[in-house]
Structure 1
Amino acid sequence: MDALLCGQGARGLRKSMFVSLFAGCLIILFFTLTSMIKVFSSNLIEPALTSEQHNSYRLVLITSELDTPFWAKVEKGAMAAAEQYGASLEVWGTYGSNRDDFLKNIEVAIVSKVDGIIVQGLDTDEFKSLTKVKAASSGIPIITVANDVPMNESLRRTYVGSDHLEAGSMIARQLVSDMGFAGRVVLMVSDRQEYFQRSRLTGILNVLKPYPQIETLIVAAGDSRVDVASATNKLLNEAPNVDAFIAVSANHAGSIIQEISKRMQVEPFYIYSFDDSPETLTLMQQGKIDALIAQSPEAMGEQSVTHMIKWLTGEQVPLNPDGYFTDIKVLRAGETR
């Protein structure tokens, strides 16, 4: 009898232990499933749409002309938009168009795994390699601002800035309106033309082509004031009967005018530029520049950040591959913006 009771007690103990073990397994399974559901659910949520991550976006604006009034305005617009969206924006740049340092900044931004890069486009193989290979393979979106590089060559997401083809057309139409349907026109370009310069030049030539009595002379000069002055001096020696100058690269206008003024009065010439910088505005107020294309650098900065944030959040996908053009206008002597 005692043996029977002892056996029943052992069976009851084993049953109790089994029930406890089973319950313990259920509890462990419950917490495991709960954790898995939480992890899985968090992966289903668009990370860019959460306010915490939205506020932690780190963007970088990179330019090779950090010390110019134009880029100061781009920076101002970009900073205002970043503050509006709660994003972090750093501005990196170089002085004096130091291309090696400029490219190094892009490479550092990629290695730093920033969320987005807004950059002044540079039409070189090195730039395209960084954006097309390194940035793309790291999943970092690139938006070019002010100066573009073709999308198929750079894999940039979009471009924000002036329509340089239309800008060239606008300044050429102003020239025809001022000068008439005949004359010799010098188109001063850089030795190594950027994509935006080629677009401007194409716009100019498209407008002037129907006028057979307008002769165009394309003159290549370096980027320094000394190089531009030298090219202008040589031109005036070889072709003294020039009627007009168009500084396709905006920073050439001052050097052209300075060199002309050493020889003769500037006023008889029709002179045009593409940027309302303090120098060109002063020259226009003095009557030495007849008209220029006024751009919208502050809007470029603001819109580039806005489009970058909207892409990162999925609100605007895809971005327009042709770009988003900011306002441009012809500003004539005696006019203000």
Structure 2
Amino acid sequence: MGNKKKRRNLLVIGFLFITPLLLGCVNQSKSKQTIMLILDTQDSHYNQMIEEGVMAAISDYNDVSILKRRLKNTKESYQQNVYVQEAIDLGVDTIIFSAINIEKSKKDLEFIQKKEIRVIMMDSFFENPYNFNYIGTNNKEAGELVGKTLVELIGSEAEVGVLSFEDESLSSQEKEKEKAFYRFIEEFSRIKIIEKKLTRSDNETVQLLTEEMLTNNPEMDGIIAFNEYTTIGAGRAVKNKKMQNKVAVIGFDSQIECVELLENGSILALIVQNPFAIGYLSIQSALNPSNDEKINKPIFTEVELVTQKTMYQSKKERLLFPFSYQD
């Protein structure tokens, strides 16, 4: 039990930008509450870590009922709105919502505002926040960090390729990151996007598309990937074509293969997020709402740039290997 509690403390506090929500020890919820947790697909490491955080938070609280709803695939974004209506019909206290397509859910979320149901947006953010609580990555900051990393590690004169999901598979947060990246590099006229490949969440397909991109563009200096699948596919392609010292991959997330590809030089840099903390804080926020104001300021969790040289620095290592710190 002591080790379990220590692991949770290290995961949440050890590598989190400290927020007012985490001051002091965990408070127990005052009365039984029902939360509906509406997630997207489960197959990514990122989403699995969010759920790890959710379950760790639930184990720290009493008198809470959790109803979990998850999509089978990203094409079913409409189903999230069905879940929202179900939550309204059941009269839950809080909806924690990770939107596949936030614009398609806008009407339903505005309707919830008229009900006595609290909404916490998890990693999905309107440019106009519509007075919803938000917990997750600062996607604008993450996208800009990709651009800064490109300039710092590759240079202000470069020809790069971009890997992204097809529109129907592209989540709201990935769109925000990509948009912020493009805005940032507008200042650098000699950075050229020479090819962009659209794909789905399939490492093998991404690898084949990346190898084709590399063959078609032998002058390419780097590849930008905005999620776990495109990062792994790009890293595999560079490794397979033995182009580690020629083409620099900048990608996202800390799935074990991402880390291995970073370690062997097939990926130059990873932008590492903190999905465990997002899950944990979402539950904590639902069970301990502010008494002073209905809507809190957005809670942005940590984003770190990790390279082969820095990956074993203490703070970055905690993000890459969080469960190594459970003892």
TM-score, length basis structure 2: 0.75
**Contact persistence 1:293–1:328 (CA under 8 A):** yes
Structure 1, residues 82-115: CA drift from partner, whole Å, max 9, x if none? 4444222333323443525444433322322211
Structure 1, 170-179 or 104-113: larger mean CA deviation: 104-113
Paired position in structure 2 for 1:187: 162
Secondary structure of 2:277's counterpart equals helix
**Contact persistence 2:262–2:269 (CA under 8 A):** yes
**Contact persistence 1:118–1:142 (CA under 8 A):** yes
Structure 1, 282-291 or 203-212: larger mean CA deviation: 203-212
Secondary structure of 1:306's counterpart equals helix
Q: Which residue of 172, 175, 179 maps to 1:198?
A: 175
Shift of 1:287: 1.5
**Contact persistence 1:254–1:280 (CA under 8 A):** yes
Residues 232 and 69 of structure 1: CA distance in aligned 2, closer, same or farther (over 3 Å)? closer
Paired position in structure 1 for 2:185: 208
Paired position in structure 2 for 1:7: none
More helix by share: 1
Residues 53 and 175 of structure 1: CA distance in aligned 2, closer, same or farther (over 3 Å)? closer
Paired position in structure 1 for 2:31: 55
Q: Which amino acid aligns with 2:136?
A: G
Question: Are residue 143 (structure 1) and residue 120 (structure 2) matched?
Answer: yes
Q: Which residue of 170, 173, 177 maps to 2:152?
A: 177
User: More relative contact order in 1 or in 2 (CA 8 Å, sep 6+)?
Assistant: 2
Question: Are residue 67 (structure 1) and residue 43 (structure 2) matched?
Answer: yes
Paired position in structure 2 for 1:296: 274
Unaligned runs of 5+ in 2: 1-26, 318-327
Shift of 1:166: 1.0
Structure 1, residues 30-53: CA drift from partner, whole Å, max 9, x if none? xxxxxxxxxxxxxxxxxxxxx999
Measured in 1, the distance between the counterparts of 2:81 and 2:206 equals 25
CA RMSD for the aligned pairs?
2.9
Structure 1, 123-132 or 177-186: larger mean CA deviation: 123-132
Structure 1, 191-200 or 94-103: larger mean CA deviation: 94-103
**Contact persistence 1:266–1:288 (CA under 8 A):** yes
Paired position in structure 1 for 2:251: 273
Paired position in structure 1 for 2:218: 240
What fraction of aligned residue pairs are identical, expressed as a percent?
19
Aligned residues: 281
TM-score, length basis structure 1: 0.73
Shift of 1:245: 0.6
Shift of 1:180: 2.1
Residues 1-337 of structure 1: pairs in structure 2 closer than 5 A = 54-86=30-62, 87-97=64-74, 99=76, 100-133=78-111, 135-151=112-128, 155=130, 157-192=132-167, 193-217=170-194, 219-225=196-202, 228-229=206-207, 231-261=209-239, 263-311=241-289, 315-320=291-296, 323-334=298-309, 335-336=311-312, 337=317
Secondary structure of 2:288's counterpart equals helix
Residues 297 and 272 of structure 1: CA distance in aligned 2, closer, same or farther (over 3 Å)? same
**Contact persistence 1:67–1:95 (CA under 8 A):** no
Q: Which amino acid aligns with 1:71?
A: N
Shift of 1:243: 0.6
Secondary structure of 1:317's counterpart equals coil
Structure 1, residues 232-267: CA drift from partner, whole Å, max 9, x if none? 355335433211011023321122233445545344
Structure 1, 161-170 or 250-259: larger mean CA deviation: 250-259
